[in-house]
Amino acid sequence: MIESLQHLISGFEIATTVANLLYCLLGAIAGTLVGILPGLGPIAGIALLIPVTFGLSPTSAIIMLAGIYYGAMYGGSTTSILLNVPGETASVITCIDGYQMAQKGRAGPALAMCAIGSFIAGTLAIFGMVFLAPPLADAALAFGPAEYFSLMVCGFIVLSNVTGNSLLKSLMMAVVGLIIGTVGLDPVTGDYRFTFDSMYLLSGIEFVAVAIGLFGIAEVLSNVDQPLENLEQKVIVPRFRDLYPSLQDLKKSVGAIFRGAGIGFGVGLIPGPAPVIATYASYMVEKKVSKHPEEFGQGAIEGVSGPESANNAACQTAFIPLFVLGIPFAPPTAILLGALMIHGVVPGPMMISDHPDVFWGVIASMYIGNFILLLLNLPFVPVFANILRIPKKILLPVIMLFCITGMFTVNNSIDDVWLMVFCGVLGFVMRKWAYEAAPLLLALVLGPKLEVAFRQSLMLSHGSFRIFVERPVSLVFLLATLIFLCVPAFQWVIRKWIRRST
Amino acid sequence: MMKRMFCVLVVLVAFIAAAPAQSATFPEKEVQIIIPWAPGGATDLIFRALAVSTEKYLGQAVVIVNKAGGGGAVGYVEGSKAKPDGYTLVTAVTPLTILPHNVKTSFTYKDFEPVINVVRDPAMFLVRSDAPWKTTKEFLEQAKKNPGMISVGNSGAGGGVHLIAMAFEKAMGVKFNHIPFSGGGPSVTALLGGHINAVSVSPPEGISQVQAGKLRIMALFSEGRFDMFPDIPTCKEQGVNFAMGQWRGLAAPKGTPAAVIQKLHDAFKKGMEDAGFKKNAKDMAVNLSYMSSGDLGKTMAADHEFYGILVREIKK
């Protein structure tokens, strides 16, 4: 403990040199930009800047590249809140309540709470990292295919009805997500499935295209669908006192931020799309503990501050398996691993002892980076909030342009843009009949992982399903899922029984 | 009629005359390398570093474009259809000679002109350091006694290390339980957690765990010893006659003029010999291995043949 603190102090000495502060700032700015642009995510941002870092020391290089990753978590919420366009995948959930807040002239508080929540959660997660990294990394190893499968089942069942409107409709959307998630390369045999000899379908259905289509493009189409007078009048002018959160907003958000940080920290240790799962879980929890669950979906601030804190904590925590095990659990950390290796630092069990300057320097820079990001983001809140004053007839085409260019940059593929437009039309129709997009997107993320884990487990057990109940961690998750499913049924039976006996 | 013939002739002559002129001034703009995998993988990283070190010898920027998907097929289709003018290259990696056997593709290695080979990675089996086997032979004896019981992870179905594991099993007359993962990282994680018995990898995957003493190299499939671990004997030294590896090089679309290929080859060769690049490769535990255009072509043809037989046997 004391030793960790001493190392951390020496890390701060490394991170606070003028050069390293500058690289941290550069990374934070680049990350925020990458997060704001829809489509372009931290992976592309880091990949683009790796060659720039070749002349730098490993510590400076990683400080800058890591800044892009967590900086993107700050920027990602901006377009979700203002335009209903998720800036990156971990900000899908933020669209739901963030956009509603913006429509009510409260974009400022939503944006500010995102920055504050991200800062608090990020800082807490780094604390957790400093003191708990090695034991936590070992705990993460306990997750084999069977455990992973049961966890995914649990997550899937619990989270698919995240907005809680109609269970039936949510499940339908989740199944659609599962089905389109099977398109592409079969992960076990290496054969192509449901590709209809199309080159484009070989790589599967692009998540980002579906997400931007179902949220962003569908939003534009819904706006266009209104009578013209409506559209011209409806300009949101935020009042000055609405630019920053009120005391009530802060009070409501404190619990959400800390819970979000906890969820993000826990989920971040699990391999896979941790930030996405963390945001869904946080939203679900906030809705369950809230005294006013009916506010969710209508612009509840907890529905913004919770998930945004969770994705930031999860993204910081993702550095634990990277640094301690040398294994990237998430795609952005995979590219950071490569960046470290190109600079002669091999992450893994030996990294803390072999390269203490890099390890502690980067950790210390994350504290500084989170602070820089807070300072960087808060002053821009009024600027961003005022974007909504632009008349819709100008704003809507600009959003379209933004989505199309952003989508193209992901894979340099025009087909992705067409898929996005198609999903936009689909999303528009879905809204008309009140089908939610969130369960579909969750299924699209989890489905392929679920399938791989399931088939791997059965291959390991030579076809026996007992592997799922014989392994304790896996059994716990399955039992939890069962309880979750049974509780409403029990409640119903008990209520009926009470009614009869009275 | 004669007039039209004449026109065709003029155009043809103009083309023939223009071709050397074009290659004389090549390159006039930036050269693009398509990587058929997502950013961050071993191929991606080493070619990003090579791109930077080659720019000064080529006199133009070298740009990396990732076209991931379909186990590499998406990028290779794009590469095979690109204009054969030398401004678009692809990374030619072992799966180029495996994919066309595994699934229906519109390309084979014959749709590309080899430019240069850069890397040759040895393949190896890793086990946990507490595994009961000490030598490759002990490991194989165990496998012989319990067919199908030793689980061996790989980084993807039909990928290079998966097929190498299968070729090993075939050559030794044993049977493993192959478990595919989505990438080398997840397969090494599963081994560390004790969920599988061994894993088939190419460096740098798992290297840091071997250095830390958490994993051991059970079988090294290279011809010579591994620079980073000079104490580990190869399979051949242990009397197990098996060696296989993967190559990573560059290729251009079919029809790219030979003079342009030569220019690209020379520039990338200089880039490979650049001190900065050599250091990058050493830091990443990547085994540099130069091959000329002709030799890479021969290797591609031989491996295409070899994997064709292997895949047909597996699919039976």
Write the pLDDT tens digit of every residue in A431-453: 999 998 989 998 998 888 899 99
Contact map slice: B 206-225 vs A, CB within 8 A = 207-209, 211-212, 214
Residues 6+ apart with CB under 8 A from B34: B65, B66, B67, B75, B78, B79, B82, B88, B89, B90, B91
So what's the pLDDT on residue A109? 92
Pairing of strands B88-93, B151-154: unpaired
Out of A312-316, B114-118, B296-300, which region has the weakest mean confidence (pLDDT)?
A312-316
Test the A interface: residue of B101, B103, B316 with most A CBs within 10 Å: B103
Find the closest chain B residue to A459 by CA distance: B179
**Is the pLDDT assigned to residue B186 strictly greater than 90?**
no
CA distance B226 to chain A (A): 17
**Is the pLDDT assigned to residue A459 strictly greater than 60?**
yes
CA distance A346 to chain B (A): 6
**Token pair listed for B295:** 């030799």
So what's the pLDDT on residue B117? 96
The answer as to whether A9 is a domain residue is yes
DSSP string, B221-238: -SSS--TT-TTSPPTGGG
Q: Is A51 in the B-facing interface, judged by CB distances under 8 Å?
A: yes
pTM for the full predicted model: 0.84
Mean pLDDT across chain A = 87
Q: What digits encode the pLDDT tens for the residues A162-177?
A: 766 788 888 899 999 9
CA distance A321 to chain B (A): 10
Nearest to B155 by CA among B186, B183, B131: B183
Q: Is A326 in the B-facing interface, judged by CB distances under 8 Å?
A: yes
Test the B interface: residue of A46, A53, A327 with most B CBs within 10 Å: A327
Pairing of strands B112-122, B288-291: antiparallel
Find the closest chain A residue to B197 by CA distance: A460
The answer as to whether A333 is a domain residue is yes
Of A190, A338, A351, Cβ closest to residue B45 = A338
Q: Is A297 in the B-facing interface, judged by CB distances under 8 Å?
A: no
Helices (H), A85-166: 94-103, 107-141, 145-159
Q: Measured between alpha carbons, how far is A102 from A82 in angstroms, rounded to an integer?
A: 6
So what's the pLDDT on residue B89? 96
Q: Measured between alpha carbons, how far is A107 from A380 in angstroms, rounded to an integer?
A: 12
Find the closest chain A residue to B35 by CA distance: A411
**Token pair listed for A369:** 């980076």
CB atoms B190 and A144 under 8 Å: yes
φ, ψ (nearest 5 deg) of residue B133? -90, 140
3-state secondary structure of B148: coil
**Is the pLDDT assigned to residue A343 strictly greater than 60?**
yes
Q: Are A91 and A314 contacting, i.e. CB atoms less than 8 angstroms apart?
A: no
Q: Measured between alpha carbons, how far is B74 from B58 in angstroms, rounded to an integer?
A: 27
Find the closest chain A residue to B214 by CA distance: A349
CB atoms B208 and A346 under 8 Å: yes
Find the closest chain B residue to A411 by CA distance: B67
3-state secondary structure of A186: coil
Partners of B214 on chain A (C-beta within 8 Å) are 349
Nearest to A24 by CA among A392, A376, A461: A376
Residues 6+ apart with CB under 8 A from A176: A440, A443
Find the closest chain A residue to B95 by CA distance: A190
So what's the pLDDT on residue A167? 80
Nearest to A447 by CA among A62, A48, A159, A77: A159
Q: What digits encode the pLDDT tens for the residues A64-112?
A: 999 999 898 888 888 899 989 887 778 889 999 999 999 888 899 999 9
Find the closest chain B residue to A50 by CA distance: B48
Contact map slice: A 229-258 vs B, CB within 8 A = none
CA distance A479 to chain B (A): 22
Percentage of residues in chain A with pLDDT exceeding 70? 97
Q: Is A61 in the B-facing interface, judged by CB distances under 8 Å?
A: no
Average pLDDT of span B82-100: 93
The answer as to whether A483 is a domain residue is no
Q: Measured between alpha carbons, how far is A29 from A34 in angstroms, rounded to an integer?
A: 9
So what's the pLDDT on residue A351? 82
Q: Is A338 in the B-facing interface, judged by CB distances under 8 Å?
A: yes
Q: Is B243 in the A-facing interface, judged by CB distances under 8 Å?
A: no
Q: What digits encode the pLDDT tens for the residues B203-215?
A: 878 888 898 899 9
**Token pair listed for B50:** 């090579």
Tally Cβ neighbours within 10 Å of residue A375: 13
Q: Measured between alpha carbons, how far is A429 from A264 in angstroms, rounded to an integer?
A: 33
DSSP string, A473-490: HHHHHHHHHHHHHHHHHH
Q: What's the per-residue H, E or C state across A28-45?
A: HHHHHHHHHCCCCCHHHH
So what's the pLDDT on residue A2? 76
DSSP string, B38-102: -TTSHHHHHHHHHHHHHHHHHTS-EEEEE---GGGHHHHHHHHHS-SSSSEEEEEEGGGGTHHHH
What's the domain range around A258? 2-470
Number of domains in chain A: 1
CA distance B108 to chain A (A): 15
Question: HSE-up of A295 (CA within 13 Å, CB side)?
Answer: 17
Find the closest chain B residue to A205 by CA distance: B69
DSSP string, A319-383: HHIIIIIS--SSHHHHHHHHHHHHTT---STTHHHH-HHHHHHHHHHHHHHHHHHHHHHTTHHHH
The terminus-to-terminus CA distance of chain B in angstroms comes to: 57
**Token pair listed for A359:** 């390890």
Test the A interface: residue of B48, B178, B208, B274 with most A CBs within 10 Å: B208
Bridge partner residues of B180 (DSSP) = B154
Partners of B178 on chain A (C-beta within 8 Å) are 459
Helices (H), A207-324: 207-212, 218-224, 228-233, 247-267, 274-289, 302-317, 319-320
Q: Measured between alpha carbons, how far is B65 from B44 in angstroms, rounded to an integer?
A: 9
Q: Are A101 and A109 contacting, i.e. CB atoms less than 8 angstroms apart?
A: yes
Q: What digits encode the pLDDT tens for the residues A299-315?
A: 999 999 999 999 999 98
Task: List C-alpha distances in Å: A452 to A226, A455, B179.
Answer: 44, 5, 10
The answer as to whether A149 is a domain residue is yes
Of B40, B190, B279, Cβ closest to residue A338 = B40
The answer as to whether A492 is a domain residue is no
Q: Measured between alpha carbons, how far is B109 from B303 in angstroms, rounded to an integer?
A: 10
Partners of A141 on chain B (C-beta within 8 Å) are 189, 192-194
So what's the pLDDT on residue A303? 93
Q: Is B32 in the A-facing interface, judged by CB distances under 8 Å?
A: no
Q: Is B146 in the A-facing interface, judged by CB distances under 8 Å?
A: no
CB atoms B177 and A145 under 8 Å: no
Positive or negative torsion for Cα A363, A350, B272, B156: negative
3-state secondary structure of B124: strand
Tally Cβ neighbours within 10 Å of residue A248: 10
What are the structural domains, with CATH classification, of chain B?
30-121+246-315 (3.40.190.150), 127-243 (3.40.190.10)
Asked if the ipTM is above 0.85, the reply is no
Token pair 């290695």 in the structure block, residue: B109
CB atoms A190 and B48 under 8 Å: no
Tally Cβ neighbours within 10 Å of residue A66: 30
So what's the pLDDT on residue B12? 54
CB atoms B195 and A145 under 8 Å: yes
Average pLDDT of span A271-300: 88
Partners of B69 on chain A (C-beta within 8 Å) are 184-185, 202-204, 411
The percent of chain B in helix, strand and coil, each rounded to the nearest 5, is: 50, 20, 30
Q: Is B199 in the A-facing interface, judged by CB distances under 8 Å?
A: no
The answer as to whether A140 is a domain residue is yes
The DSSP symbol for A437 reads S
φ, ψ (nearest 5 deg) of residue B93? -125, 160
CB atoms B157 and A190 under 8 Å: yes
Nearest to A88 by CA among A359, A273, A290: A273
Please tell me which residue, B292 or A197, carries the higher pLDDT value: B292
Test the A interface: residue of B195, B205, B214, B279 with most A CBs within 10 Å: B195
